[in-house]
Amino acid sequence: MAVVQQLFAVVLFFVVITVSLGGILKKYEAVMKQQSLELGLYNSSDKVVILSNVNLKEIVLQQNHSSLVEFYNSYCGHCKRFAPTYKKLADELYPWRSVLRICAIDCAAEENNEICREYEIMAYPTMRYIGPHFTAGPQNYGTPLETQNLSEIKNNLAQWLVAENRTANITNWPNFQHVTESDVDTLFEGLGSQKEYVIVVYEPENSTIGVETILNFQRWSNVQVRRVTDNEIAAKLKIDSAKYKIATIDRKGNIVPYTSLADTSKAYTETISSFLNAQHFTELPEVVSSTAANLLLLAERQHENEEIVKEVKKNKHLVYQADLEMAIRGTIFNEVSKVGEISNDRLLALQRFLAVLNRYNPLGANGKIFITKLYEYVMQFNQQLSGKDFENEVTKLESQYKPIFSANHYVGCTGSQPSTRGFTCSVWQLFHYLTVQAARTEISQDPLEILQAMHGYIKHFFGCTNCAEHFQAMATKRKIWSTPNKDDAVLWLWAAHNEVNNRLAGDSTEDPLFPKIQFPSQSSCSGCYKQPISPATMETNWDKNAVLSFLKNIHNPEYISRYGVEHEELLQPTIEKLRQKRMIGNVFSDMDMRMGMLLYVFCIGMMVIAFKLFAFKGYRKKPYGHDLLGKV
C-alpha cells in the first residue's frame, strides 16, 4: 500500500512540474510575441498598425479597406531615418482609417520571414499599397509606392483610393464623384437622415485636395463632403476658384460659402472642422484597436539594457561572444531565410559565407556541428535553392542539435535606445572576428577568403539596402581585390569600417552613448596613434602595426568576453577556467589521492564493523525480553 502511495506521489510530482513548465513556456511565448511587436521601429503609441505573421491576414487581406504596408528592417539606417516621416503620415492619415490603414511589418523579426519572402521584398524600406479584397499570389504583391516624400505619398494614395472606388465592389466608401450639374439640387438624395449637411469643396484640376478633404471627414456621420471642379457648377453653390472654396448646404437648401486660408487639404480641413465643432458634431467612435502596450515588459527590458550598457561602457573595445552569436543567428535564421530564390552569384555568396563560418566558427560544440551540416547541405546545390528550403533545413538542424546558441541577446551591441545599434553592429564584429581568425591561423593562405565572403554576403543578403550599396562602392574605391595578405585583410576591414564611422558621425541613427569615433580610441590604444596627430589635416596618424596587434588581441578567442552569456556550458572552457580546474587538481598530489582513497575504504570498513557489533548486541539482548515495566 505504502509503495502505491509513493508511486502516486512521484507521478503527481511530475505532472505538476510538466503542467507548470507548460504554463511558463506559454507565458514566455506570449511575452516574446509581444516583444517582437513592440521592439521594431514603431510601437503602440504610434498610429502605425504593427503587423506580424499573426495578424497580417486579418488586417490586410480580403478587407473592405485598403492598406499601405511598409516592409522594413529595424536595423536598417535608412528605415530608421524614414520612420519619423512614416509616423507623421500615419498621424495625418489617421482620419482616413476606415478606408486606409497605415501599417508596417519588421522583416528583421524571424517570425515574419515567410511574409517578407512571399511578398518578394528585395530592398528596405519597401512600401506597397494593397487594395480592398486583396489576395496575394504570384506576381501580385500590391502596388509599389516609389516615393518617400510625405505629400507625394498622400497624393498617390488619394489617387489610388479614388481608382479603387470606381472598380471594386466595396461598401461604405466615401463618394469621390465630382458634383455634376444634375447633382446640385439632389445632394441629399440617397443619404441617410443622419446627414445634416453636405459640404462641397473646390478642387483645382490635377490636384487631390478635394479627395484628401473628403477622406479627412470620412468618419463624421453628420456630414458628407463632396468635391467640385467645374467653375460653372461651383458658382451655383456659391463657390468660386478665387475666394470662396468651400460651401455648406443644409437640408433646406441654404448655402453658406466659406474662405480657406490656403489651397491645401490641411487648410480646407481646418475651416470645415471649425464649422463642425460649432455645430457640436463629433467623429464616429473608434473601430481600430491598436496593439496593447506592454509598458511593464518594455520597462523591464529597458532596465536590463541599461545594466548591460553600463557594463559595456567600462571597456568599449571588448568583443563579446553574445554579439558574435547574435550575428550568426540574424544572418542565417533571418536574412538568408527570407530570400525567395538563392541562385547563381547569390548561391555562391552563401556557400562562401558558410565556408568561412564553418572554418572559424565562434559557436560552441553544437553550433559547430550545426554550421558544418548546414554548409554541407548548401554545398549540394549548384543551380538554385529556395529560401524556404533553406529555412526548413535550418529549423530541422536546429531541432536536431539544439541548443546551438549560448546567448540570445546583444551585449556589446546593445543600444541605449531600442532603435539603435544591434544587428548591424554585430555583423561588423563577426566579420572583424573572421578576418582576425584567418590571419591568426594557417588554415588558409587566401588573403581574400573573408573579404570575398563578406562582400558577397553584404551584396546579396544584407537587409540594409543602402549600406550594401555604399559598401560595394567603398570596396571598389578601396581596391578590396588587391589586398595582398591576411594581415592586410584585417586592416582593410578596419579602415573601411572607420570610413563608415566617419560618414555616420552625428547622423540621426547614432546612439548618443556610443558616438561614432575613429576606432580604436586613444584611451583604448594610445600606441595605435603616432604622435602628434597631424594638425594640418586633422587626420589620424595611425601606427598600423599597433592597430593590427590591437585588433588581433581583442578578437583573440581567449579574450572574447562571455559577459551576458546564458549557457556557458555550451562553449569550450576558457584557459582561465582550465587553469582553475588544474589548480584544484594540483592541490592534491597522486600520493595524497591514494592515501585519501585508503582512508575512505578504512572508514567504510570501520562503519560496517561498528554496525554489525551494534546489531549483534541488540539481537543478543532480545531473549531476555524485559520491557520498561520489568514484564517478561
Ligand X SMILES: Cc1cc2nc3c(=O)[nH]c(=O)nc-3n(C[C@H](O)[C@H](O)[C@H](O)COP(=O)(O)OP(=O)(O)OC[C@H]3O[C@@H](n4cnc5c(N)ncnc54)[C@H](O)[C@@H]3O)c2cc1C
Site size toward ligand X (CB under 6 A) is 26
Residues β-bridged to residue 226 = 200
At its nearest, how many Å lie between ligand X and the CB of residue 551? 6
- The dihedral over CA atoms of 594, 599, 602, 608, expressed in degrees to the nearest 10, equals -120
- Binding to ligand X, residues 87-106 (CB under 6 A): none
At its nearest, how many Å lie between ligand X and the CB of residue 498? 4
Q: Which CB atom, from 133 or from 516, has the smaller least distance to ligand X?
A: 516
137: left (phi over 0), alpha (psi -120 to 50) or beta: beta
At its nearest, how many Å lie between ligand X and the CB of residue 173? 40
Contacts of 396 (CB under 8 A, 6+ apart): none
At its nearest, how many Å lie between ligand X and the CB of residue 526? 17
The C-alpha atoms of residue 71 and residue 88 are separated, in whole angstroms, by: 17
Please work out, in degrees rounded to the nearest 5, the angle formed at the alpha carbon of residue 300 by the alpha carbons of 316 and 322: 40
Considering only 119, 360, 471, 492, the residue that binds ligand X (CB under 6 A) is 471
Q: Which CB atom, from 41 or from 233, has the smaller least distance to ligand X?
A: 41
Cell numbers linked to 433: 572576428
Q: Is 509 in the site for ligand X (CB under 6 A)?
A: yes
HSE, side-chain direction, 13 A CA sphere, residue 384? 9
Stretch that binds ligand X, among 190-198, 345-353, 371-379, 462-470 (CB under 6 A): 462-470
Q: Is 494 in the site for ligand X (CB under 6 A)?
A: yes
Single-letter residue type at 124:
Y
Alpha helices in 217-331 (DSSP H): 231-236, 265-278, 295-314, 321-329
The C-alpha atoms of residue 449 and residue 352 are separated, in whole angstroms, by: 8
Q: Which CB atom, from 227 or from 346, has the smaller least distance to ligand X?
A: 346
Q: Which CB atom, from 434 or from 458, has the smaller least distance to ligand X?
A: 458
Stretch that binds ligand X, among 86-94, 491-499, 530-538, 592-600 (CB under 6 A): 491-499
Q: Are 68 and 126 in contact (CB under 8 A)?
A: no
Stretch that binds ligand X, among 130-138, 254-262, 501-509, 608-616 (CB under 6 A): 501-509
The C-alpha atoms of residue 290 and residue 45 are separated, in whole angstroms, by: 9
The Cβ of residue 16 has, within 10 Å, a number of other Cβ atoms equal to 10
- Binding to ligand X, residues 515-544 (CB under 6 A): 519
The C-alpha atoms of residue 259 and residue 262 are separated, in whole angstroms, by: 9
At its nearest, how many Å lie between ligand X and the CB of residue 467? 3
Q: Which CB atom, from 98 or from 524, has the smaller least distance to ligand X?
A: 524
The C-alpha atoms of residue 208 and residue 158 are separated, in whole angstroms, by: 7
Q: Nearest residue by C-beta to ligand X?
A: 77
Q: Is 77 in the site for ligand X (CB under 6 A)?
A: yes
Q: Are 467 and 458 in contact (CB under 8 A)?
A: yes
- Which residue matches cell numbers 529560401? 387
Q: Is 500 in the site for ligand X (CB under 6 A)?
A: yes
Q: Is 467 in the site for ligand X (CB under 6 A)?
A: yes
At its nearest, how many Å lie between ligand X and the CB of residue 323? 8
At its nearest, how many Å lie between ligand X and the CB of residue 429? 5
Q: Is 201 in the site for ligand X (CB under 6 A)?
A: no
At its nearest, how many Å lie between ligand X and the CB of residue 465? 10
The C-alpha atoms of residue 53 and residue 114 are separated, in whole angstroms, by: 8
- Strand-pair category, 66-72 with 100-106: parallel
Stretch that binds ligand X, among 159-167, 441-449, 497-505, 525-533 (CB under 6 A): 497-505
Stretch that binds ligand X, among 41-49, 56-64, 442-450, 507-515 (CB under 6 A): 507-515
* Interaction mask 412-451, ligand X, x per CB under 6 A: -x-------x--xx-xxx--x-------------------
Q: Which CB atom, from 34 or from 501, has the smaller least distance to ligand X?
A: 501
Q: Is 317 in the site for ligand X (CB under 6 A)?
A: yes
Cell numbers linked to 489: 585583410
Q: Which CB atom, from 220 or from 471, has the smaller least distance to ligand X?
A: 471
Please work out, in degrees rounded to the nearest 5, the angle formed at the alpha carbon of residue 310 by the alpha carbons of 304 and 314: 145
Cell numbers linked to 620: 543478543
Q: Are 467 and 503 in contact (CB under 8 A)?
A: no
Q: Which CB atom, from 141 or from 542, has the smaller least distance to ligand X?
A: 542
Q: Is 514 in the site for ligand X (CB under 6 A)?
A: yes
At its nearest, how many Å lie between ligand X and the CB of residue 253? 60
Cell numbers linked to 339: 530570400
**CA end-to-end distance (rounded Å), the chain:** 34
Considering only 498, 542, 560, 565, the residue that binds ligand X (CB under 6 A) is 498
**Residue ranges that bind ligand X, judged by CB under 6 A:** 77, 317, 413, 421, 424-425, 427-429, 432, 458, 464, 466-467, 470-471, 494, 497-498, 500-501, 504, 509, 511, 514, 519
